[in-house]
């Protein structure tokens, strides 16, 4: 592991010699991720994108893309767009990226089951803002919003998410 890696430990995430409290999936950590299990997958994951709400924050990094009102994430394992960003109207199961709450104001995308998704292996694992300390996610890794912005501004091409 390198100093530039985001390293998830049982109690926090370590990055650039700093420790950040975080939350993980309600299903804990797993080596056998499945759609709907609420678990966070173990492994080394590349960071492949960053999305943000331009109406709520300045661009966090020069490579971040804005989230628009019709942006969605397909979580329908039976559809060809499974685990990809799609646009409304979209009649299949999906998650809205532009939410009323601040949870997805800033989203860092990992390469979990992407870009060629295996049906049922679980949709996207994001880094996003938490609902509060100790409140689990559906499988993602979540942070205090100010910590997430600090991390986002310092991610580099070689940065990976390492979940042992």
Q: Where are the domains of the chain?
A: 6-65+103-163
Per-residue model confidence (pLDDT) at position 11:
85
Condensed to tens digits (0 to 9), the pLDDT of residues 53-97 reads 999 999 999 999 999 999 999 999 999 999 999 999 999 999 999
Question: For residue 77, what are its two tokens?
Answer: 């394992």
Contacts of 96-101 with CB under 8 Å at 24 or more apart are 96/71, 96/72, 97/51, 97/67, 97/71, 97/72, 97/73, 98/53, 98/67, 98/68, 98/69, 98/71, 101/131
Q: What whole-number distance in Å separates Cα of residue 128 and Cα of residue 135?
A: 13
Fold (CATH) for 6-65+103-163: L,D-transpeptidase catalytic domain-like (2.40.440)
H-run or E-run covering 13 = strand 13-15
The model's pTM is 0.96
What residue ranges in 28-132 does DSSP mark as E strands?
29-30, 40-41, 43-52, 65-66, 71-74, 85-87, 94-96, 106-110, 126-129
Which SS3 state, helix, strand or coil, does residue 145 take? Answer: helix
What residue ranges in 24-70 does DSSP mark as E strands?
29-30, 40-41, 43-52, 65-66
Question: For residue 24, what are its two tokens?
Answer: 């993980």
- 164 residues of the chain, pLDDT tens digit each: 898 999 999 889 999 999 999 999 999 999 999 999 999 999 999 999 999 999 999 999 999 999 999 999 999 999 999 999 999 999 999 999 999 999 999 999 999 999 999 988 999 999 999 999 999 999 999 999 999 999 999 999 999 999 98
């Amino acid at each position: 592991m390198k100093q530039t890696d985001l390293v998830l430990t049982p109690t926090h995430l370590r990055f650039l010699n700093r420790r950040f409290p975080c939350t993980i999936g309600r299903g804990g950590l797993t080596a056998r991720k499945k759609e709907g299990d609420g678990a966070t997958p173990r492994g080394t994951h590349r960071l492949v994108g960053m999305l943000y709400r331009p109406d709520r924050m300045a661009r966090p990094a020069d490579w971040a893309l804005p989230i628009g009102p019709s942006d969605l994430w397909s979580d329908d394992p039976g559809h060809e767009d499974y685990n990809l960003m799609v646009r409304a109207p979209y009649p299949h199961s999906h998650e809205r990226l532009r939410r009323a709450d601040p949870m997805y104001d800033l989203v860092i995308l990992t390469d979990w089951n992407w870009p060629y998704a295996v049906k049922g292996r679980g949709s996207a694992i994001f880094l996003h803002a938490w609902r509060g300390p100790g409140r689990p996610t559906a499988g993602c890794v979540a942070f205090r919003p100010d910590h997430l912005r600090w991390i986002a501004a310092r991610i580099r091409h070689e940065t990976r998410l390492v979940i042992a």
